[in-house]
Amino acid sequence: MAKEKAVKTNAMRMLDKMKIPYEVLSVDLAEFVDGVTMANLEGVPAEQSFKTLVMQGKSREHYVFVLPCDREVDLKNAAKAVGEKSVEMIPVKDITAVTGYVRGGCSPLGMKKKFVTVLAEEALQFEEIYVSGGKIGTSIRLKTKDLMRAAEAKTAKFTV
């Protein structure tokens, strides 16, 4: 019997290159679903499942924020975390051009360019968290410290 070969995403290739262990979870989806729905479909705790948001500061620089899928961004604290006067979400139509990923499949790892990445401090209470694997319906479970190392992420309090 032939073994089905999993399609690697940029996020997975990056982790492989860095020799960081991870587990892939997949759900057959054709389009975007929110993070809480995704966590429920995968049977993982929503508080351990993190979404990736890309924002732009007043300076026009882009920033990546990784936060629990059931939380929202406090824009004032997010801006403070990256040294900006203000930040705002980039338009959905720009996600692929900026990151190389599509909405609902945006991983904090393996983007087209290296962006300043900020992980919500809530992640520090978990040894492992789940983040997007780089395509719709795919998540990666990995150690929080490994995600921080791979993404060169810092932590901050920026959620509500």
Query: With helix as H, strand as E and coil as C, how does the chain read?
Result: CCCCCCCCCHHHHHHHHCCCCCEEEECCCCCCCCHHHHHHHHCCCHHHEEEEEEEEECCCCEEEEEEECCCCECHHHHHHHCCCCCEEECCHHHHHHHHCCCCCCCCCCCCCCCCEEEEEHHHHHCCEEEEECCCCCEEEEEEHHHHHHHHCCEEECCEC
Pairing of strands 116-120, 62-68: parallel
Return d(Cα 9, Cα 29) in angstroms, integer: 16
> Residue 96 pLDDT > 80, yes or no?
yes
Of the candidates 73, 72, 100, 67, the residue with the CA atom closest to the CA atom of residue 86 = 73
Cβ–Cβ < 8 Å for 53, 89: yes
> Residue 1 pLDDT > 70, yes or no?
no
Confidence of residue 100 (pLDDT cuts 50, 70, 90): very high
> Residue 131 pLDDT > 50, yes or no?
yes
What predicted TM-score, i.e. pTM, was given to this entire model?
0.93
pLDDT, residue 5, reads 53
Q: Which residue has the tokens 């262990």?
A: 21
Q: What is the pLDDT of residues 42-82, one digit of tens each?
A: 999 999 999 999 999 999 999 999 999 999 999 999 999 99
Pairing of strands 62-68, 87-89: unpaired
Least confident window among 4-13, 78-87, 112-121:
4-13
pLDDT, residue 2, reads 45
pLDDT, residue 25, reads 94
Q: Domain-by-domain residue ranges, the chain?
A: 23-155
| Topology of the domain comprising 23-155 | YbaK protein (3.90.960)
Mean pLDDT of 25-51: 88
